[in-house]
Amino acid sequence: MWKFFHRLASPPHFYRLAAVFAPWFALPALVLIAYGVYAGLFLAPMDYQQGDAFRIIYVHVPSAYLSIMAYMIMAISGGIGLIWRMKLAHAVAAAAAPLGAAFTFLALVTGSIWGRPMWGTWWEWGDPRLTSELILLFLYFGYMALRGAIDDTAKADKASAVLALVGVVNVVIVHYSVEWWSSLHQGQTLLKEGGPAMDPGMLYPLLAMILGFTFLFGSLLLRRVRTEVLFRERRTRWVREMILSPEGS
Amino acid sequence: MENLAMGNYGVYVWSCFGLTLAVIVFSDWRARLRHKRVYREIEVRIKALEERQ
């Protein structure tokens, strides 16, 4: 088992493996998202309270879920990189940050657009879920700015990993904010005790979108990590041999 | 047309789906562009070194 992980963490091996796996993540992502978009927009029944505006959840919920998942990947990878000094883990963390920021931005904007007709406001500063999600976006920006400000990659890896680990506190707040404080944002629907509180016609497209976005994230992350590995290993022998080989990559 | 109007919420619903598509396409394009750029830079440097030797 350790041998497998050790081999997987080897940059040249990962670089080649990621090229093989990225399209295999993209394919189910396309199928699931195509089904989720069509079923979510045209087949799912209208919500009795929110009307058709509820359909925004088909992009808002997967984005919000990925905003948290990307952060956890970034923090866990940073932690692994710090503890076991695994270079690949730092590359994963660095590659996850822009994607996490993109999905956090989407979660915030689509949530705000949904809030306008439903709550009568684009934004509510007093709401803990909205505010903690905004802080999450700033954490991503801070993480990327910190990396960009330090020229030495090893130092940038260490400093950014510490920042990512400290920021996990905010992820916990984002997740539990709707339970701990009174919030405009609705509570848990999918992970509710006793099963999801949704009509199956609404639920299945949402699950397809969540799974599809996860595969999409996987594909994008693999490709970004590949680039990150290539950049970090630019002065190594295997990169030189790969570039000079007739196949290249 | 009724489907597109989304019961007068069309502007909100379609703008969210459009924005999501735009962000995903942009992320994908950025990832491809950066990979090409990094690869090209390394390729130029290595080939220049090879020619010098």
Q: Is residue A43 within 8 angstroms of chain B, CB to CB?
A: no
Q: What is the pLDDT of residue A215?
A: 98
Torsion angle defined by CA atoms of residues A235, A238, A243 and A247, in that order, rounded to the nearest 10 degrees: -170
Torsion angle defined by CA atoms of residues A42, A45, A48 and A50, in that order, rounded to the nearest 10 degrees: -30
Say if B11 falls within a structural domain. no
Q: Is residue A125 within 8 angstroms of chain B, CB to CB?
A: no
Q: What angle do CA A11, A100, A195 make, to 5 degrees?
A: 110
Say if B7 falls within a structural domain. no
Whether the ipTM is more than 0.95: the answer is no
CA–CA distance, A106 with B19 (Å, rounded to integer): 8
Mutate one of A55, A233, A237 to test the B interface: name it (highest B CB count within 10 A).
Answer: A55
Say if B9 falls within a structural domain. no
Chain A CA closest to residue B38: A231
CA–CA distance, A73 with A92 (Å, rounded to integer): 8
Q: Do A244 and B42 touch (CB under 8 A)?
A: no
For residues A101-109, average pLDDT: 97
Say if B1 falls within a structural domain. no
Over residues A140-181, the pLDDT tens digits come to: 999 999 999 999 999 999 999 999 999 999 999 998 888 877
Say if B16 falls within a structural domain. no
User: Which tokens sit at A135?
Assistant: 């802080």
Over residues A66-76, the pLDDT tens digits come to: 999 999 999 99
C-alpha distances (whole Å) from A98 to each of A67, A117, A188 are 10, 30, 27
- Report the half-sphere exposure of B25 (CA within 13 A, side-chain side): 6
Give me the residue label for tokens 């260490």: A158
When CB atoms are compared, the residue of B17, B27, B38 closest to A227 is: B38
Say if B53 falls within a structural domain. yes
Say if B18 falls within a structural domain. no
Say if B40 falls within a structural domain. yes
Q: pTM of the prediction?
A: 0.92
Burial class (CB in 10 A: 0-12, 13-18, 19+), A111: buried
pLDDT interval class at A248 (50, 70, 90): low
Q: Do B15 and A113 touch (CB under 8 A)?
A: yes
Phi then psi for residue A199, to 5 deg, are: -65, 140
For residues A187-194, average pLDDT: 69
Q: Which amino acid belongs to residue A13?
A: H
Query: What count of other Cβ atoms lies within 10 Å of the Cβ of residue A152?
Result: 9
Instruction: Give A94's contacts (C-beta < 8 A, 6+ positions apart).
Output: A147, A157, A160, A228
Q: Do B16 and A59 touch (CB under 8 A)?
A: yes
User: Which tokens sit at A202?
Assistant: 């609404």
Q: Domain span at residue B36?
A: 23-53
Q: How many domains does chain B have?
A: 1
Q: Do A117 and B9 touch (CB under 8 A)?
A: yes
- Report the half-sphere exposure of A245 (CA within 13 A, side-chain side): 9
